[in-house]
Structure 1
Amino acid sequence: MEATNHITWHHSTVTKENRHVLNGHKSCVLWFTGLSGSGKSTLANAVDYKLFQLGVSSYVLDGDNIRHGLNRDLGFRVEDRKENIRRIGEVAKLFVDSGQIVSTAFISPFREDREIVRNMLEPEEFIEVYLHCPIQICEKRDPKGLYQKARNGKIADFTGISSPYETPDDPEITINTDQITIQQSVEKIFSYFKEKQIL
């Protein structure tokens, strides 16, 4: 018999809404998606720093960092990538339940996986932020030297080279990171926060 047949969800005494009132802001997930080198980690941390300066409860979940711990048992096959995103979705949901704004910086190449995470959350809690950047620019940046390794056959199933990236159909926010600055990108996200009355 499945282990889940023997467990029951325990509802918290302090609700998410209680935490929103205490914090003075709503909670949500900023789901940064895009090719390697498009600027996901850089922008997620820039947004997080501004939130921190404003006294907003927030945190960044970064792809590489998570693979050092929680997901260190996963590789980069399609099934592993799907499980990687599923786990991150569950963790991100916990952060939202705790009343925080969580930024996730993951390539998350498959639309289906991103939609699964969206469906874990309530409407407007999942904010898909698509960082559009031509692969030529991403390769030119190549901060970790991964594209070169992929081109040389040293990395299999590398997104954009030997594995596909499925662009979002209708993201809440699209940022052309080859055309605007980090500061302008941050301002675009904070304009969205204001529009949706998250802050």
Structure 2
Amino acid sequence: MPLRARTLVPALLAAMLAGCATPPPPAPHAYVVLLENADGSVGKVVYSGPQGVAQLDQPREAVALRGPAQTFVLDAAQLQRDAGAALAAQPVAPRTFELYFDVGNAQITKASEALLPEILQEVRSRAVPELAIIGHTDTVGSAEQNATLSLRRAEQVAELLKEARAAATHVEIASHGEHNLLISTPDETAEPRNRRVEVTVR
């Protein structure tokens, strides 16, 4: 009998403590919440309401649309209950890959070549995939030469992505030449990051 009493005391104490714990307040019925981007990054939202201003810059940070502009972190389970169906119905965001080239030619770099299987997998993961392959150059050479070179680069990548093109419902191959520079430079500037083909999977 004494052994049983000693066994019950901790259990009773735990039950009492549990009963005294304050549960987190429920999320408001209407709120603004900041979600992560597909790549895991988080932007920033500034909310301005009748009762103040709040900045959201953390994953699942939220603010009620009524009442004081005080931020809180929304529980993942609550977010799923409130918006799970809407989030599941969203289309998959486009994904862009940048493939780089040696100077003055259409030879893809080894590091960029290693991305080709990942591009193919991205195409295969989508129900109705579309593929855009856009060639670019730096500003070395004439605009006419660079328009031709960037098209050669785009066509070279398209050739390397035969399987991805076959799996896509629509394929665009285009040349932007030395326009739409990734890194702004003066004319006749060799910039490795501008010698690229952008492959976008939608």
Give the TM-score range, shorter chain.
Answer: under 0.3
| Higher RCO (C-alpha 8 Å, min separation 6) | 1
TM-score w.r.t. length of structure 1: 0.24
**Greater Rg by CA:** 2
The structure carrying a bigger helix percent of its residues is 1
TM-score w.r.t. length of structure 2: 0.24
